[in-house]
C-alpha cells in the first residue's frame, strides 16, 4: 500500500467549485464530464496531490455527493474527467447539469496505482462495462509515457456494443500499433457490424492469452467479473501481487471517518481504492 497524499484545507469537508467545460454521453445513462477548477489555489493543490487511482466526491449542493474515480490520468492535470452512470439522487442531478454549470468536487482521496513500479514491465489492462474509467486513468498515464513500458494489452468487454464507453478512445487505441486492444461484448450484445469478439471477459482474456511474464495486470469491473477474471489470470500464471484492482464502496466522507466503506479492517477510502489481488484475498470476502 502506498502512502497517503492528502491536502489539508481548513475544513476537510468543504468541496471545490468546478465548472463543467465539456460533457459527452458514453452509453445509455453513462456520461463523462470534464471539470475545471474555479479557484487556482485549489487547482494547484490538486496538481500537487493527484495521482492515478485516486477518487473524489462529486456533488451538487442540495442533492449531495457521490463517489467515483478520477478518470483522467495523472499526466493531464489541467482538468478532471469523471464518468458516471445516472442511477441515484446525486448522479441524476449531475446528469442534468450542462456545460457551463457548476458542480462540486472534494478530493482527490485514497491511494494510487504505483506506476513507477510498472516501469519496464508489460501491462495488461482488463475492464468490464462502466469500470473502464479507473482503468483508463492508468492507461493514459502509461500511454503518455509509453516508452517506459513494455507491451501494452487492453482487454475490454461490455454487455452490449451500446454499453461500451469511451468509444472514440477505443478507436484511437485500436489504431495505435503500440497498443493491443481486445474488445468483446457478451453473447447477444453484438450489433450486426460488430467485428470484434463475442464472449465474457474471462473467456476472452484466456483466448487472447497475454503472457504473465514480467507483466502487471490492472483489473476493474463488477464483483462477479473480478471473481472469475482472477481465476483466469491465475490460469495464465499471474501472481496475485502483480494484479491490481480497485474497490468501490459506498462512501460519505472519503476521509476515513464516516465508517461505511470498511471491508474488514480496511478503510477503502484511505487505504484503497487500489489494492492488489493479494490484498483483496485477505479481506473478508462476504463483506465485499
Partner 1 sequence: MTKILYTDKLDNCVERWRSAGLSVIGPVRNANITAYRPVGSAADLELSQILPDRSIKELFFPQTEPMMRYSIKKDAINTEECLPPVGPRIIFGARPCDASGLAIDDPLFGWDYKDEYWFNRRNETVIVSIACTKSDEFCMCTSLKLSPDSTKGSDVLLRPLESGKGWQVEELTDRGREAFKAIAELLTEGAEAAAPTAVVAEKFDADACSEWLRNPENFESRFWKEISVRCIGCGSCTYLCPTCHCFDIQDEGDTFTGIRRKNWDSCSFALFTMHTSGHNPRSTQSARWRQRIMHKFNYFPGKFSANSCSGCGRCTRQCPVDMGITETLQEISKLSQ
Partner 2 sequence: MSIEQQYRTRAKELLSSGEVKMVIGYSKGSTPDRRRPAFISTPEDVETLVLDGACIANLSGYLVTEGLLSDEKRVAVFLRPEGIRAINILAAEFQLNAAQVEILGFNTEGNEPTALSGSKVDDFAELIGTLKGIIPDTAGEELYKKLEAMSPQERFDFWQSEFSKCIKCYACRQACPMCYCRRCIVDNNQPQWVNTSSHTLGNFEWNIVRAFHLSGRCVECGNCDRACPVNIPLRLINRKMAGEVLEAFDHFAGSSQTQEPVMASFKKDDTETFIL
Partner 3 sequence: MSKIGVFICHCGENIAAKVDCTRVAEVLGDHPGVGASVEYKYFCSDPGQESVKRAIRENNLTGVVVAACSPRMHEATFRKACAEAGLNPYMCEIANIREQCSWVHNDGEQATDKAIDIIRSMVEKVKRNNMLQPIEVPVTRRALVIGGGIAGIQAALDIANAGQEVVLVEREPSLGGHMAQLSETFPTLDCSQCIMTPRMVEASQHPKIRLLTYAEVEHVDGYIGNFKVKVRMKARYVNKDTCTGCGECITKCPQKKLSSEFDCGIGKRTAIYTPFAQAVPNKPVIDKDNCTYFKNGKCKVCVKSCPLDCIDFEMQDEFIDLEIGAIVVATGFQVQNNAVYGEYGYGKYADVINGLQFERLASASGPTSGKILRPSDGKEPENIVFIQCAGSRDPSKGVKYCSKICCMYTAKHAMLYAHKVHGGKSNIFYMDIRAAGKGYDEFTRRAIEEDEAGYVRGRVSKVWQENGKLMVRGADTLLGRPVEVAADMVVLATAMVPQPDAKDFAKVVGIGYDEYGFFNEAHLKLRPVESSTAGIYLAGACQSPKDIPDSVAQASASASKVLALFSKEKLEREPVIAVNNEATCAGCWGCVLACPYNAIEKKDILDRSGKVIKRVASVNPGLCQGCGTCVTFCRSNSIDLAGFTEKQIFAEVMGL
Secondary structure class of 46 (helix, strand, coil): helix
Distance CA 203, CA 248 (A): 24
x/- contact string, 6-45, with partner 1 (CB under 8 A)?
A: x-x-xxxxxx-x----------------------------
Q: Are 82 and 58 in contact (CB under 8 A)?
A: yes
Contact between 250 and partner 2 per CB under 8 A: no
Asked if 169 and 30 touch (Cβ cutoff 8 Å), the reply is: no
Instruction: Give me the least distance between CB of 62 and partner 1, in Å please.
Output: 5
How far apart (Å, rounded) are the C-alpha atoms in residues 171 and 164? 12
Residues 149, 120 contacting (CB under 8 angstroms): yes
238-257: which residues touch partner 1 (CB under 8 A)? 249-250, 252-253, 255-257
The x, y and z cell numbers of residue 43, run together, are 487547482
**Region binding partner 2 by CB under 8 A among candidate stretches 18-26, 72-80, 85-93, 157-165:** 85-93
- State which residue, 63 or 169, has the beta carbon closest to partner 2: 63
Residue 195 binding result from partner 1, partner 2, partner 3, none, given CB thresholds of 5 to 8 Å by partner type: none
The closest alpha carbon to 273, from 106, 134, 99, belongs to 134
Among 153, 165, 154, smallest CA distance to 27 is for 165
Number of C-beta neighbours around residue 259 at 10 A: 9
By the rule CB under 8 A, 89 interacts with partner 2: yes
Does 101 help bind partner 3 (rule: CB under 8 A)? yes
119 interacts with partner 1 by CB under 8 A: no
Stretch that binds partner 3, among 92-100, 150-158, 173-181, 251-259 (CB under 8 A): 92-100
DSSP state of 18: E
| 208 interacts with partner 3 by CB under 8 A | no
Interaction between residue 98 and partner 3 (CB under 8 A): yes
Of 162 and 255, CB closest to partner 1 = 255
Q: Which of 12, 14, 28, 88 binds partner 2 (CB under 8 A)?
A: 88
Least distance to partner 1, CB of residue 224, Å? 10
Question: Using alpha carbons only, what angle is made at residue 152 by residues 194 and 189, rounded to the nearest 5 degrees?
Answer: 20
Alpha helices in the chain (DSSP H): 40-49, 89-95, 132-143, 167-175, 201-208, 223-235, 268-271, 277-281
Q: Which of 14, 44, 47, 96 binds partner 3 (CB under 8 A)?
A: 96
Write the interaction track for partner 1 spanning residues 206-235; mark x where CB under 8 A is met and - where it is not. -----------------x------------
Q: Are 194 and 100 in contact (CB under 8 A)?
A: no
In 3-state terms, the chain is what percent helix, strand and coil (to 5)?
Answer: 30, 30, 40
Angle formed at CA 221 by CA 61 and CA 168, multiple of 5 degrees: 75
List residues near partner 3 by CB under 8 A: 96-98, 101
List residues near partner 1 by CB under 8 A: 4, 6, 8, 10-15, 17, 61-65, 87-88, 91, 102, 104, 223, 249-250, 252-253, 255-260, 262-265, 270, 284, 286-288
Amino acid at each position: 500500500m502506498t502512502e497517503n497524499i492528502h491536502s489539508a484545507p481548513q475544513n476537510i469537508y468543504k468541496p471545490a467549485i468546478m465548472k463543467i467545460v465539456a460533457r459527452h454521453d458514453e452509453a445509455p445513462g453513462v456520461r463523462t464530464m470534464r471539470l475545471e477548477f474555479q479557484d487556482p489555489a485549489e487547482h494547484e493543490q490538486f496538481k500537487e496531490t493527484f495521482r492515478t487511482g485516486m477518487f473524489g466526491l462529486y456533488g451538487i449542493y442540495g442533492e449531495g455527493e457521490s463517489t467515483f474515480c478520477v478518470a483522467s490520468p495523472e499526466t493531464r492535470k489541467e482538468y478532471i474527467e469523471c464518468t458516471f452512470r445516472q442511477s441515484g439522487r446525486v448522479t441524476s442531478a449531475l446528469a442534468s447539469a450542462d456545460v457551463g454549470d457548476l458542480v462540486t468536487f472534494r478530493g482527490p482521496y485514497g491511494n494510487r496505482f504505483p506506476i513507477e513500479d510498472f516501469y519496464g514491465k508489460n501491462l495488461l489492462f482488463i475492464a468490464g462495462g462502466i469500470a473502464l474509467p479507473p482503468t483508463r486513468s492508468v492507461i493514459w498515464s502509461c500511454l503518455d509515457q509509453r516508452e517506459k513500458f513494455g507491451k501494452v494489452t487492453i482487454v475490454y468487454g461490455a454487455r452490449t456494443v451500446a454499453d461500451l464507453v469511451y468509444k472514440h478512445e477505443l478507436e484511437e487505441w485500436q489504431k495505435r500499433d503500440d497498443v493491443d486492444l481486445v474488445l468483446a461484448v457478451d453473447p447477444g450484445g453484438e450489433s450486426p457490424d460488430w467485428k470484434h469478439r463475442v464472449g465474457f471477459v474471462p473467456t476472452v482474456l484466456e483466448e487472447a492469452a497475454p503472457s504473465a511474464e514480467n507483466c502487471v495486470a490492472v483489473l476493474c469491473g463488477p464483483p462477479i467479473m473480478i471473481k472469475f477474471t482472477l481465476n483466469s489470470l491465475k490460469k495464465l500464471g499471474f501472481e496475485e501481487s502483480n494484479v491490481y484492482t480497485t474497490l468501490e464502496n459506498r462512501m460519505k466522507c472519503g476521509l476515513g471517518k464516516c465508517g461505511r466503506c470498511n471491508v474488514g479492517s480496511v478503510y477503502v477510502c484511505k487505504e484503497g481504492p487500489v489494492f492488489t489481488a493479494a490484498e483483496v484475498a485477505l479481506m473478508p470476502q462476504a463483506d465485499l
